[in-house]
Amino acid sequence: MAKRNLRQSRSRTTPIVLQGVRNTPKPLKISACWIVKNEEKNLARSIRSVSRLVDELIIVDTGSEDATVEIAESLKAKVYAFEWINDFSAARNYALSKASGDVIVFLDADEFFHPALARRDRLMIDQVFADARYDSMMLKLTNIDDDSGKVLSIEENIRIFRRRPDMVYTGSIHETIQKMVAERPTPLQSYLFLAWNINHTGYSPRIFVSKLQRNIESLETAVSQTEDPFELFTLHSYLLREYKAARLNEPAFPHLQYMLDHPEHFESAFRFMRAGFLLRVLNALEVAFFLRSRTSRIQLSSAILPPAKIYYEEDAYQLIYLHYLILFDFRPDAFLTNYTPISSQFESSENLARPGFRQGVAFVQQYACTLYLYLGDAGKAFEVIDKVIRDPDNYSPHTFSLLMDCLYGQPDDVVIPYLYQVLDFDRLQTFFYLSDALILVGRKNAFLFMQKKQMDAEVLSKPEMLYLMLVNQNFEQMFDQVSSMDIPDESSNIRNEVDCLLFLAVISSNQERLWHDNESMLIRYEELLSSYFSGLPLEHLTSEDALILTDNYYRLVFIIGIEKAERFIRIFSADPARCYITKAAFLYQNRLDIELANLDREGVPYEQQEAWFYLCKSLLRSGKHEECLAIIEDMLQNGYEDEQAFHLLYILTQKGHGEIPFKANSLYSMYFPKYDEKIDELDRERTGWTPTQE
């Protein structure tokens, strides 16, 4: 008889990991449910991923015009028609009414268990629901790009729960399963079981924009039709998330304003939504970052922090508080004062089982790493980033950039074994992010070694294979290779990346003939290539042109050298500040401090602050504190304040006990109040958004 060993949490509402039971539980009947419309491409994969586990398959079709229904019936599913009324909960609850199982597995058609669940996995479900206290299982949900297989994000969600009359879906969109008591939702008791993973392709970039637009329209309609105050608060929090995901900050401000104007609902949200609401709070902070006025900071802290402290464990509360300090406090010493004692708690927290919590902690750790680098403490910086990089859920371009910064000066024969020890090369995005990071800092030997190892393992993707050919300057062969490849359509990320690599091949080869021989593959770059070979800069630069410059300059330097890459820069010379920022970023990242100090800054105004701050950070890193302070002071005197200036002033206050730290502290005290007043006014002018006064 197995011994029961349940890891208890501080809160009964926090999911618990099941490790054992006292006896063999009674077998339960399991129903799998979907609501679908025109899902012929996805449905079979979703059904097959769970069909061996369940006893019945319930499909509710809301008006498919393709082969969805036929596919469902061929896989032995029971299919029911439901007239769509713009209410996802209504459709889901209709599916529940048709199910007969004791337990429900509810998936979307673009979700599938990976790996597929097997018959033996029924025992886990039987064990969980043998305990009457628990009514659901919270699983890992991985959002992936279906075109490339790359992981976009990881979260957790309830997809398995008891079937009972008081368990229903609520919300016309972003619907959630709730237990209703006296017509009000009460917190679900969930097992956190991350051994089972669900892949979700609904956020693939190819369809993400249209899906966001659909969600926003549905949510805006729901807001206009909803009277319940708490439901309105919830809808506004979802709209905030959708606009943030769409990178539309200004349309998100009214929804943030609504939430902050109704602080009484934060308490219920923290109590009932818990883990799901934690991520929305972090979203709210990130959106509010664009409204950094004093009044918005006061309103944020008074609405969010007190209830979070009551209803969250200490480490979850501290995570929110540290995010708040990073985004809204301009004294990094306050962050380090709070981060140092709590960092060890993060490492042993039960909440680390939650992907969203881990990602939040990684954000905090990366900021700490950046501060330690600024302060010249490379040992602490590496200690922090080493912890971050060992969790593949934390991989991002910024993470790998910080890692390269911490490994600066280490030889390749030390770096390469270390990377293979700590990185998960089974993750598709690992090699993509690492390649870019190695190229950015010019580690050609390490890059070629990694490429060769991946090629030998036959795991190189199509763009990565072309990338290797580009670095090896096999330009002609690249076009021959693409001609024989099966590349997705123009809307896919793979197609975009392949086109960009071909464009770089023409630039790197400096052969106009190569362009003209392959014009059909380079239509989107026609204007840029015409400018490059004519020697005439573009007169009107678009934001897309600017991205081509900033994203590819370092690649060209890596392939053909910095002197030859200067011809590429001339295409964009109508925007000298943008060119300077691009070159300054490259020189700073490669620690070419002398070259950066000598970079011609003529025609680059102080309002292009990012360019000047690369120079300031370079001077700080080189120990030229007086020169760094002089530039910052000059910028402040000319009215060009920025939070980076105050961060750098703080760093300078930590450099010894002489005149420089004293003067840096004086400048901070003199100019920060003026900056605080200015951003209050800028918030009002730029957005028309006026935070409620305390």
Report which listed range, 264-273, 454-463, 520-529, is most confident: 520-529
Q: In 10 A of CB 295, how many CB atoms?
A: 16
Residue 177 · residue 164 · CB < 8 Å: no
Q: Which of 45-49, 102-106, 344-348, 623-627 has the lowest mean pLDDT?
A: 344-348
Is pTM, for the whole model, over 0.85?
no
Tell me the mean pLDDT in the region 19-42.
82
Q: What's the pLDDT at 4? A: 29
User: In the predicted model, is pLDDT for residue 293 greater than 80?
Assistant: no
Q: What's the pLDDT at 20? A: 46
Percent of the chain whose pLDDT exceeds 90: 32
Q: What's the pLDDT at 183? A: 67
Confidence of residue 73 (pLDDT cuts 50, 70, 90): very high
User: In the predicted model, is pLDDT for residue 180 greater than 50?
Assistant: yes
Q: What's the pLDDT at 118? A: 92
Decide which of 430 and 76 is more confident.
Answer: 76
Tell me the mean pLDDT in the region 396-414.
92
Q: Which of 494, 500, 499, 497 is nearest to 146 (CA)?
A: 494
Q: In 10 A of CB 105, how many CB atoms?
A: 24
Listed in sequence order, the residues at least 6 apart from 419 whose beta carbon sits closer than 8 Å to its beta carbon are 434, 446, 450
Angle, helix 659-687 to helix 294-311, in steps of 10 degrees: 90
Q: What's the pLDDT at 14? A: 38
For 525, the token pair is 């770059």
User: In the predicted model, is pLDDT for residue 22 greater than 60?
Assistant: no
Residue 125 · residue 30 · CB < 8 Å: yes
Contacts 24+ apart (CB under 8 A), 377-382: 378/406, 381/405, 381/406, 382/406, 382/407
User: In the predicted model, is pLDDT for residue 546 greater than 90?
Assistant: no
| 30-203 topology per CATH | Spore Coat Polysaccharide Biosynthesis Protein SpsA; Chain A (3.90.550)
Confidence of residue 10 (pLDDT cuts 50, 70, 90): very low
CA distance 609 to 577: 10
Q: Which of 172-181, 376-385, 562-571 has the lowest mean pLDDT?
A: 172-181
Map tokens 């062969």 to a residue: 477
Confidence of residue 9 (pLDDT cuts 50, 70, 90): very low
Q: What's the pLDDT at 601? A: 67
Decide which of 520 and 11 is more confident.
Answer: 520
Coil, helix or strand at residue 113: strand
Listed in sequence order, the residues at least 6 apart from 455 whose beta carbon sits closer than 8 Å to its beta carbon are 465, 468
Tell me the mean pLDDT in the region 635-662.
86
Q: Which of 75-79, 260-264, 286-290, 369-373 has the lowest mean pLDDT?
A: 286-290
User: In the predicted model, is pLDDT for residue 19 greater than 70?
Assistant: no
pLDDT tens digits for 435-491? 889 988 889 888 888 877 777 777 677 777 888 888 888 999 999 888 877 766 655
Q: In 10 A of CB 51, how many CB atoms?
A: 16
Residue 422 · residue 389 · CB < 8 Å: yes
Tell me the mean pLDDT in the region 311-328.
87
Query: Strand 56-61 vs strand 30-36: parallel, antiparallel, or unpaired?
Result: parallel
Percent of the chain whose pLDDT exceeds 70: 88
Tell me the mean pLDDT in the region 581-595.
87
Question: Average pLDDT, whole number, for the chain?
Answer: 84
Q: What's the pLDDT at 82? A: 95
Q: What's the pLDDT at 15? A: 41
Q: What's the pLDDT at 205? A: 62
Q: Which of 116-120, 310-314, 333-337, 488-492 has the lowest mean pLDDT?
A: 488-492
Count of residues making up the chain: 694
Distances (CA, A) of 631 to 594, 634, 642, 669: 16, 5, 13, 17
CA distance 612 to 603: 12
User: In the predicted model, is pLDDT for residue 296 greater than 60?
Assistant: yes
